[in-house]
């Protein structure tokens, strides 16, 4: 089903076909879709990506929204580990080089690669309509946090007044055109934001040990970055969710009409449908469900007393 199919079905059932009700229904369905997408690791959202492992800190492609697992070279699975565990049990891992055996996720950044030398950023749109639209930059320079707002000027390039060596967030509202962000000095293309993009987050990995062989690749299993139902013709990447979204959308419309009793009944129906959908994802697709216990030494019985 496309987005308009959801709103048409729900609004017809409720005899609420005015433009404001249709617009509200679309907002509800969009939000419920995002909630359900983020809540579970759906099989439809998984993807594999090969990343050049030429450093101990690696930036993932933009399509990876969450990192599920990784493999070093062609045969070595990397064990996920936390910084606190390494500090307690293997503090030398932070300086050691060799073949990576462990991996942890670190804070995502707002651009697709690290800034090697601090510089100002340049912004330009491919549409003349994008004027006076503000882009927010939040990051650091030499370890000091800073923030700046830059007003776009259509197809005319504008520059930030501050220099940056780390960008944690770079966000904007919906625009008419695509926004390109480059380095003022280096001309490096750091980011491209589509009209519907608010921001991008690039996930990062830290390898332990730091690789001495920088010619190998890292095979990463990730959850695909969420893309919302922004256009009327958009469809869910998880087709089995259609009935769940219909039920949740109707519940939200009932709440909008202050019919809370009926809304609660519809939420119960949506919850039941969601469990059915999860069963389809687990049992009706090719899969093997297996629990593998592992002792990583992080807890002992005293932790539970």
Q: Are residues 185 and 209 in the same domain?
A: no
Residues 133 and 250 in one domain: no
Range of the domain at 51: 43-108+205-224
Residues 36 and 49 both lie in one domain: no
Residue that is written with structure tokens 């069963």 in the block: 279
Q: What is the pLDDT of residue 279?
A: 80
Residues 100 and 214 in one domain: yes
In a domain, 100, yes or no: yes
Clarify whether residues 52 and 95 are in a common domain: yes
136 and 172 Cβ atoms separated by less than 8 Å? yes
Query: Tens place of pLDDT for every residue, the chain, 305 residues?
Result: 999 999 999 999 999 999 999 999 999 999 999 999 999 999 899 999 999 998 999 999 999 999 999 999 887 899 999 999 999 999 999 999 999 999 999 999 999 988 999 999 999 999 999 998 999 999 999 999 999 999 999 999 999 999 999 999 999 999 999 999 999 999 999 999 999 899 999 999 999 999 999 999 999 999 999 999 989 999 999 988 999 999 999 999 999 999 999 999 999 999 999 998 888 776 666 665 666 666 655 666 666 65
| Cα four-point dihedral sign 119, 168, 218, 207 | positive
Domain count across the chain:
3
Distances in whole angstroms, Cα of residue 203 to Cα of each of 41, 76, 111, 200, 206: 17, 21, 10, 10, 11
pLDDT for the residue 288: 59
Q: Do residue 92 and residue 129 come from a single domain?
A: no
CA distances, 276 to each of 53, 98, 106, 215, 240 (Å): 40, 47, 35, 45, 9
Q: Are 203 and 105 a contacting pair, CB within 8 Å? A: yes
* Confidence (pLDDT) at 153: 96
The answer to the question of residue 140 being in a domain is yes
Give the separation between CA 274 and CA 285, rounded to whole angstroms.
16
> Do the Cβ atoms of 164 and 119 come closer than 8 Å?
yes
């Amino acid at each position: 089903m496309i987005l308009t199919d959801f709103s048409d079905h729900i609004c017809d059932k409720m005899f609420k076909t005015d433009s404001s009700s249709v617009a509200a229904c679309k907002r509800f369905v969009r939000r419920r879709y995002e909630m359900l997408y983020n809540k579970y690791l759906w099989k439809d959202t998984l993807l594999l990506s090969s990343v050049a492992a030429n450093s101990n800190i690696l930036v993932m492609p933009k399509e990876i929204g969450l990192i599920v697992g990784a493999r070093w070279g062609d045969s070595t699975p990397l064990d996920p580990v936390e910084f606190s565990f390494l500090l307690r049990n293997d503090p030398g891992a932070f300086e050691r080089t060799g073949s990576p055996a462990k991996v942890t996720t670190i804070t995502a950044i707002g651009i697709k690669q690290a800034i090697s030398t601090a510089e100002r950023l340049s912004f330009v749109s491919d549409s003349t309509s994008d004027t006076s639209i503000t882009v927010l930059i939040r990051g650091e320079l030499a370890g000091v946090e800073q923030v700046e707002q830059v007003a776009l000027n259509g197809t005319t390039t504008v520059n930030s007044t501050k220099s940056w060596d780390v960008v944690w967030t770079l966000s904007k509202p919906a625009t008419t055109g695509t926004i390109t962000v480059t380095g003022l000095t280096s001309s490096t293309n750091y980011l491209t934001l589509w009209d519907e993009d608010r921001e991008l987050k690039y996930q990062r990995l830290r390898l332990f040990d730091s690789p001495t062989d920088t010619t190998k690749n890292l095979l990463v299993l990730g959850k695909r970055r969420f893309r919302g139902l922004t256009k009327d013709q958009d469809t869910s990447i998880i087709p089995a969710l259609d009935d769940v979204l219909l039920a949740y959308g109707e519940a939200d419309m009932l709440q909008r009409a202050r019919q809370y009793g009926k809304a609660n009944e519809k939420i119960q129906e949506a919850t039941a449908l969601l469990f059915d959908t999860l069963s389809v994802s687990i049992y009706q697709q090719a899969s093997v469900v297996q629990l593998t216990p592992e002792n990583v030494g992080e807890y002992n019985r005293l932790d539970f007393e």
